[in-house]
Amino acid sequence: MEAHVLASAATDKNLELVLDVLPALIVILVTSGLCGWLMRWVWQPRVLGEMVAGVLLGPTLFGWLFPDAQKAVFPPEVKPILYVISTIGLTLYMFLVGAGLDHGGEERDGAHRPIILAISGIFPALILGAGVGWALWSTLSGGDVSRWLFAVFLGGALSLTAFPMLARILYERGLQNSRLGRLTIMAASIDDAAAWCLLAVLSAVHLGDGTGSAMRTIALALLFVTVALVVVRPLLRPLGRAVARAGDLGLGHTYVVLVVPLAAGWMTDWIGIYSVFGGFIAGLAMPRDSVFRRLVHERMMNVVSVLLLPVFFTFSGLNTQLGGLTGGTMLMSFLAILTAAFIGKYFGCALAMRTLGFGNREAYAVGGLMNARGLMILIFINIGLAQGIISRDVFSMLVLVAVITTAAAMPLYSLALPRRLEKEQVPAAPEPEKAAAAA
């Protein structure tokens, strides 16, 4: 009987897949936890450690030192499963960011402020990056793609902000609902949405689908946002009141809370923009009741942050290989791209913050955060690599840009806004939330 069970198990493909996926998840969690702890030890956000862990588990280190072991831990059949888990994790995390965002200061701060900051974060980096791309086209592209397409793609990649990473940094420091935090999160979301719309246009042109297909994507995205915030948001308000009356998030409420962001993520993926924005918009459509927001955050954030998000970082790292930065020409090209990235984003956003009435410290603190690109740029350039818009050498350079700008974010932020001054930015919790926290 026992032999029969073992024989059945040996031929059960689903069981084999489970036995492949579980060790991969264990390795991911252990490595991410260790790297996250090390980063906190050197005053970096834990999320940077998870990003580095993802790169280290890929072919850059693990696959280079122990290729057979890396293939055994991450066989080809496991990667689609990790992709699905990572997409769900990122979508739910950005849903929690949107659901936890306090809209109470929007009217006071002015709706134009995030737009001004976003424009200042997009166009300087886009123009400088495109200029560098135009100049280095013959060196880096190999003539496989037109000069203008290559240049605009490079500029678009440099205009990205690490939206999920920035949000997580602000959450870890309790600044997500501060005036500075709300402004930065909203501006970063506009930045990334604009970059994805630009990518939709470039992909359509490069693949021969024409600009009509890209305009359809943009129009559907705007329609989705309008329906979510104008139609769906009022329909969800009774949910917030019911949870507030009950003082608990029941099973029925939890079904709604999970279905809405997953459906929104599916819709934005179908439209042609990344599901992260569907999750974020679904969060914005959620009720703003303080009790509801607190319960949703308490029930979901730890599981999403500890289990699901590290899978997202690792999956991206498995597709990353740093091997293109060799030789004087490539080194100079990389330095030119990195310089354009820093000047365009860091100083562009800092200048915008000064024009909005913020002090120098707040301005350069936000400039440092907005300059972080994280793995959003890795998603962007993975698409460009798959479609042949950029070469693997350019891909490797942009991976290093992502790591360096992200690693520099917290030192630049802390230099501008030390902890003693940062405490002034943290909003005081409402009395009910203080009482709940004390309980």
Using a 10 angstrom Cβ sphere, with 0-12 exposed, 13-18 middle and 19 or more buried, the burial of residue 18 is exposed
Please list, in sequence order, all residues whose beta carbon lies within 8 angstroms of the beta carbon of residue 241, skipping any fewer than 6 positions away: 287, 289
User: Which residue type sits at 340?
Assistant: A
Residue 23 is given by DSSP the state H
Confidence at residue 433, expressed as pLDDT on a 0 to 100 scale: 44
Confidence at residue 210, expressed as pLDDT on a 0 to 100 scale: 60
DSSP assignment of 65-83 equals H-HHHHHHHS-GGGHHHHH
pLDDT exceeds 50 at position 156: yes
Confidence at residue 49, expressed as pLDDT on a 0 to 100 scale: 83
Residue 58 or residue 172, greater confidence = 58
State the CB neighbour count (10 A cutoff) for residue 38: 15
Confidence at residue 337, expressed as pLDDT on a 0 to 100 scale: 95
Beta strands in 224-272 (DSSP E): none
* Residue 153, both tokens: 């793609």
161: alpha, beta or left? (left if phi > 0; alpha if psi -120 to 50): beta
Confidence at residue 218, expressed as pLDDT on a 0 to 100 scale: 78
Q: Where are the domains of the chain?
A: 21-438
Residue 151 or residue 400, greater confidence = 151
Collapsed DSSP state (helix, strand, coil) of residue 209? coil
* Residue 301, both tokens: 């954030």
Confidence at residue 326, expressed as pLDDT on a 0 to 100 scale: 67
Confidence at residue 19, expressed as pLDDT on a 0 to 100 scale: 86
95-109, 122-136, 151-165, 227-241: the lowest-pLDDT one: 95-109
Residue-wise pLDDT for 279-326, tens only, equals 888 998 999 888 888 888 888 888 888 888 888 888 877 877 766 566
* Second-level CATH architecture of 21-438: Up-down Bundle (1.20)
pLDDT exceeds 50 at position 436: no
Residue 305 is given by DSSP the state I
Phi and psi of 182, rounded to 5°?
A: -60, -45
pLDDT exceeds 60 at position 432: no
Per this entry, what is the length of the chain?
439
Confidence at residue 434, expressed as pLDDT on a 0 to 100 scale: 44
Confidence at residue 216, expressed as pLDDT on a 0 to 100 scale: 80
168-177, 223-232, 328-337: the lowest-pLDDT one: 168-177
> If pLDDT is split at 50, 70 and 90, which confidence band does 424 have?
low
Residue 372 or residue 431, greater confidence = 372
pLDDT exceeds 90 at position 245: no
> If pLDDT is split at 50, 70 and 90, which confidence band does 438 have?
very low
Please state, in angstroms and as integers, the Cα–Cα distance from residue 140 to each residue in 156, 331, 395, 397, 418, following that order.
16, 12, 10, 11, 40
State the CB neighbour count (10 A cutoff) for residue 239: 19
The CA angle 197-176-297, to the nearest 5 degrees, is 95
Residues above pLDDT 90, as percent of the chain: 22
Tell me which residue has tokens 């888990």: 85
Average pLDDT across the chain, whole number: 82
Separation of CA 164 from chain center: 3
For the entire predicted model, the pTM comes to 0.74
* Residue 381, both tokens: 């350039």
pLDDT exceeds 80 at position 109: no
Confidence at residue 186, expressed as pLDDT on a 0 to 100 scale: 83
Residue 159 is given by DSSP the state T
Residue-wise pLDDT for 11-47, tens only, equals 578 888 888 899 999 999 999 989 988 887 887 777 7
Confidence at residue 52, expressed as pLDDT on a 0 to 100 scale: 83
User: Which residue type sits at 411?
Assistant: P
State the CB neighbour count (10 A cutoff) for residue 382: 18
CA distance 106 to 182: 8
State the CB neighbour count (10 A cutoff) for residue 230: 10
Tally the C-alpha atoms within 13 A of residue 296's C-alpha that lie toward its C-beta. 30
Confidence at residue 257, expressed as pLDDT on a 0 to 100 scale: 92
pLDDT exceeds 50 at position 105: no
Confidence at residue 196, expressed as pLDDT on a 0 to 100 scale: 74
Confidence at residue 227, expressed as pLDDT on a 0 to 100 scale: 95
